[in-house]
Amino acid sequence: MMNGSNFSSPVPMIKLEKFTATEFNDWKLNTQFGMKYLNVFYTVQSDRATVMGTEAETQWIADEDFCRDYLLNCLSSSLAKTYIKMKTAKEIWEALEEHFRQEEDLSKAHLVDKFHSFMFDEEKAILPQVSDFEALVDSLHSENISLPDSFVAGTIIFKLPSTWYNFKIEMYRKKMQVGLNDLKRFIRIEDENRIRHALETVSKQKSAANMILSSKRVPNPKRTRPSHGSSQVAGPSKRTKKYKGKCFNCNKWCHSASDCRLPKRERTKAPQDGNQANMVSLAESFDFVGMVGNAKASTEWYLDSGATCHVCNNADLMTGLTAVKESVIVVNGETADILKVGNATLLLSSDEAFEKFCFFKTRVENQLDMRIKRFRSDRAGEYMSSEFRGFLASQGIIAETTAPYSPQSNGIAERKNRTLTEMLNSMLITAGMPTVYWGEAVLTANNIMNKVPHAKLDVTPYELWFKRPPTITRLKTWGCIAYVRVSDPRWSKLGPRTNTCVYLGCAEDSAADRFLDLSNNIIIESRDAVFFEDKFLKDKNLTIPGMQATITEEELESVPSTSNSVPVDNSVLESRRTSVRERTPRTFGSDFVTYHVEADPSTYKDAMRSRDSLLWKEAIDEEMNSLLQNNTWTLVDKPRGAKTIGCKWVLKKKLNPDGSVAKYKARLVAKGFTQVSGVDYFDVYSPVCHLATIRILLAIASIENFIVHQIDVKTAFLNGDLTEEIYMSQPEGFIVEGHKNKVYKLIKSLYGLKQAPKLWHEKFDYSVRNMGFMSSLSDKCLYIRHRLNKVAIICLHVDDMLILGSDQSIVDDVKSELMKEFSIKDLGIAETILGMQVSFGKNGISLSQSHYIKSMLDTWGYSECRAVETPYDYNNCLKPNDGAAIRQSDYAKLIGSLMYAMVCTRPDIAFTVGMLSRFTSNPSQDHWDALDMLMRYLKHTQTYALCYHGHPPVLEGYSDASWCSELNDSKSTSGFIFTLGGADVAWKSKRQSCIALSSMESELYALALAGEEAEWIRDLVMDIPLSSLKLSSVAVYCDNQATKTIATNTLFNSKRRQLRMKQAWLTSLTSQGIVNLIYVRSKDNVADALTKGLNRVLTIKTSGEMELKFIEI
């Protein structure tokens, strides 16, 4: 039934809210309520054609006209001018819906981010901040994001500042769940108590100050009788006569030193006797009391009139301080005997002494801004080598040696060695730890010695070195049991939340502690731990797997290598000079940093001397058995004049995702760098599959519902047959007795040989062709077999390969055929290929590098950084650095890491990485700032993944160019991107090699680059017989009409003669139907993100069009 409006009666007054392009949902609800109240809302839901009858049509026209005016009146003047051109209210309403609904959707993400990043400021009142947080929650509710009150209350408790820790614990311990209203009441009570307590503290401080000021010389009421008629008031006694002498404190007249208002100056007093002398002695004893660590102490004073002395931890509150040049008294009455600053260094062998000394020298001279002048040693062989002594002479360092068999001549170092040895022996026995951990004990003992006071100075050796007092609050009992919290990514739903560990001391390069994980036998670093300093390994009857019970004599001889003979003048050390060059320590957050108890051995001897020697021996024997079973060589006499190449063992520990050791891997590698071209090898080229090929195959798998499995070929390079005569020496540890002078003649290729990759590929190519596979002309590592309408695909990358099939039986048949030819390891459904995680779900296939990016963020100290939503500041204009390079090596390493992420799964950072890589040779601070912004963007988009959902099953491309974007050389930037199966499969952002004279010319260069890629992808896909995917031509979108016209025009003129080859190439592609050029507006061109920096809204928009989506790790 049609609702009508009676305009003859007075129209009720409805308050009109002007819409200013913000808060569209709220304005829409209010406006819709007003139109319903006026009975005209039905006009925006129906058309005139649906009205039946003359009277009803007349009424509808009148209501519609009124509704249109009402809507325009609810808009701001600028918006009203825009929408007044529309004829009906329905058109205006639908246009507003379409335009502002999308912006409202984007605001949801902003509100959610604001909700997560909200934190309470302890410097401000808490209750107003709670109200602000509630307003934010209400905004989420208005966006249909509902949050229960219990969740909001728990979030408020979690986000309270650290000063409210006790209050938070009390809330968590409540048995009943705390509601939002109850929580606000508790917070208000707590806040009022804190304010009242603060006022009482201020009052106490004021009264205490008055008491101190008025307590100088108060007469004893028992000895002083007041005069008659005077009131007895507590306070300083008044003098009857004015003092006319001179003050000994400020040298002014008419008052005494006892009444002087200036602070008492430092002066030497005459010897005193009696009680006053005893008080002075007692006061001097208390001058030794120091501040422990950097503990945050209270600023309140608690006065006790009966106390002999008061202790203050803030020297700034004292008016006069006296430095005491005495020995440091400790609790047992003895003095601490510390000799200078000690640095302990652990050596695997004595030949590392020179390298460690060079490192120590550089660090000392850089930290102290002084040079080493003398080096005293005990004539040990590692210090007497020609290399070591020549280095000392070149640096102008005097080399002093002690007389033979006179260790007392080098007493400082000898005493330090003795002290450290006794300390580590005591620590190992107390903790019940195996002696293999003597190195960890030495480092901790040396750390403790550096942080206790010196016998002849009033500071610790640590403070002399670093110019700041040490922090000893982190020191715990060495070897005690600790429970270390398992990091969140390694939690299991039903597993333990902590690991039982042994405390091994403080980490050297991070604010964390070192622990021995007893379950995995690895050393980890963490800040989240609970210590039981009275419990040790021997008390809990725990054992450490793989530990040897004794320590070798060779290891004892190297305990420890110390550096104590830095000849620095004491007067220089006593002058407290604060360095202006402070190095900011790199922060890695509270996440675990896992590494091996000892590094991977570099030689066979190191492996046999390590504590894991049995495991390394097993891995080496397995490798040798594999070589012998494969008939890799024969033992022969060395021909006269023949050249022999060497070999070495490469040893590596393979780790599980949780950091534990999965496998000990040994590989015998030939020293191929000694081979001679034309004699030992000829051709060495071996193809590998393109990364774009892998992405295209995953997109095809999502379209055709293919099965994707992965296998690994064991000892792949051992399958190639050698044609050249190559002789290799016998490997270390496996020299045949009685035949030491014989050599191995290689029959098959070996890792390390120049021609090994080529021979392996030739062998694999020959084998799979015999199975009926044909290689693609576009990618030589892609093999296809089509039998009985069933397709099998093999994609090879060195020794890793993907197998795709129409069904499981096809994949199993291919695996069985490969097993007959090679020794392979079946990895099942593909999970990780070349560092990229592959996930299969109901919505398709996702490809990500979240673990790689997380590792990169942790390595470079960005795990706890503030995230941003854009990779590059579009207002930024980077220029070459004219000054000195800033950390050029680190800059190049980080760019290399980012480039691998960009070419694999992250097209959204292609332009930024390409731009920053142009300054790798000489980066400045501006370039580091831009790189910092990119890392913060990766922190925000760490879980981005390319999501192939199989639709649409067509190949499309986008091409774009930013003309003259490089202000330094006026060159332009080209960019293209191709999508298949719903996500990107190929992209590139590249600076053009020549200077374009116009935007049309730069777009033409970019379009030619995109045309080459389109033809390659089209040929690759057409090599695979598919039922769902039919390619006739590739649609390529560009946003320049002139470029599109020229690319399809066969006519040339003199104005475009420099573009003749590019134009002819594009014309050929379009005329043959390979490429179909389509015009698209710039705002809809996805390739725009590959040529320039974009703002936040466009960055989010283009990332969505690239099908980059957040996934759960």
Report yes or no on 961 lying in a domain.
Answer: yes
CB of 280 closer than 8 Å to CB of 291: no
Report yes or no on 277 lying in a domain.
Answer: no
The last residue of a domain, from among 805, 834, 863? 834
pLDDT band at 793 (very low <50, low <70, confident <90, very high): very high
Positions of E strands within 238-361 = 344-345
How many angstroms separate the CA atoms of 851 and 656, rounded?
A: 13
Q: Which residue has the higher pLDDT, 290 or 407?
A: 407
Domain match, 52 and 166 both: no
Domain match, 749 and 894 both: no
Report yes or no on 298 lying in a domain.
Answer: no
pLDDT attached to residue 758: 83
CB of 288 closer than 8 Å to CB of 309: no
In the structure encoding, which two tokens stand for residue 728, read together? 């290799």
Look-up of token digits 């390979």: 1074
pLDDT attached to residue 52: 63
Write the pLDDT tens digit of every residue in 742-762: 889 888 888 878 878 888 888
Domain match, 1042 and 1099 both: yes
**Mean of pLDDT values over 206-214:** 43
Domain match, 902 and 998 both: yes
Poorest-confidence range of 250-264, 451-465, 726-740? 250-264
Burial class (CB in 10 A: 0-12, 13-18, 19+), 108: middle
Domain match, 629 and 685 both: yes
Report yes or no on 871 lying in a domain.
Answer: yes
Q: Which residue has the higher pLDDT, 930 or 280?
A: 930
pTM: 0.48
Position 1064 pLDDT exceeds 60? yes
Domains: count for the chain: 4
How many angstroms separate the CA atoms of 723 and 774, rounded?
A: 26
pLDDT attached to residue 986: 92
Which residues, including other chains, have CB under 8 Å from residue 255's CB and lie 6 or more apart? Answer: 243, 247
Domain match, 789 and 848 both: no
Position 405 pLDDT exceeds 60? yes
Amino acid (1-letter code) at residue 751:
Y
Say whether 149 sits in a helix, a strand or coil: helix
The last residue of a domain, from among 192, 220, 246? 192
CB of 911 closer than 8 Å to CB of 1109: no
pLDDT attached to residue 328: 40
Report yes or no on 390 lying in a domain.
Answer: no
pLDDT attached to residue 181: 80
Poorest-confidence range of 78-87, 280-289, 452-461, 968-977? 280-289
Task: Of 814, 830, 823, give the one whose Cα is nearest residue 763.
Answer: 823
Please report, for the domain that includes residue 1055, its CATH number.
3.30.420.10
Domain match, 769 and 861 both: no
In the structure encoding, which two tokens stand for residue 495, read together? 């597993």
Share of the chain above pLDDT 70, in %: 74
Report yes or no on 652 lying in a domain.
Answer: yes
- Return the sign of the alpha-carbon dihedral for residues 304, 308, 314, 315: positive
Domain match, 29 and 126 both: no
pLDDT band at 1074 (very low <50, low <70, confident <90, very high): confident
Report yes or no on 286 lying in a domain.
Answer: no
The half-sphere exposure of 544 on its side-chain side, counting CA atoms within 13 A, is 25
Which residues, including other chains, have CB under 8 Å from residue 637's CB and lie 6 or more apart? Answer: 741, 742, 743
CB atoms within 10 A of CB 206: 10
Write the pLDDT tens digit of every residue in 717-726: 777 778 888 8
Amino acid (1-letter code) at residue 1034:
V
Can you name the residues that pair with 483 across neighbouring β-strands? 500, 530
Containing 821, the helix (H) or strand (E) segment is: helix 808-821
Domain match, 79 and 124 both: no
Report yes or no on 713 lying in a domain.
Answer: yes
How many angstroms separate the CA atoms of 251 and 502, rounded?
A: 65
Poorest-confidence range of 240-254, 356-370, 1047-1061? 1047-1061
Q: Which residue has the higher pLDDT, 321 or 755?
A: 755
Poorest-confidence range of 30-39, 52-61, 621-630? 52-61
Write the pLDDT tens digit of every residue in 651-700: 988 776 555 677 888 888 888 877 777 666 777 777 888 999 999 999 99
Domain residues for the domain of 59 are 24-110
CB of 701 closer than 8 Å to CB of 838: no
In the structure encoding, which two tokens stand for residue 372, read together? 């080493």
The last residue of a domain, from among 110, 142, 168? 110
Can you name the residues that pair with 648 across neighbouring β-strands? 669
Which residues, including other chains, have CB under 8 Å from residue 102's CB and lie 6 or more apart? Answer: none
Distances (CA, A) of 972 to 1004, 1066, 1092: 11, 19, 10
The residue count for the chain: 1113
Position 594 pLDDT exceeds 50? no
Domain match, 60 and 181 both: no
Domain match, 798 and 675 both: yes
CB of 633 closer than 8 Å to CB of 746: yes
How many angstroms separate the CA atoms of 907 and 911, rounded?
A: 8
How many angstroms separate the CA atoms of 1106 and 1094, rounded?
A: 15
pLDDT band at 313 (very low <50, low <70, confident <90, very high): low
**What's the mean per-residue pLDDT of the chain?**
75
- Return the sign of the alpha-carbon dihedral for residues 545, 550, 553, 556: positive
pLDDT band at 319 (very low <50, low <70, confident <90, very high): low
CB atoms within 10 A of CB 847: 23
Domain match, 787 and 918 both: no
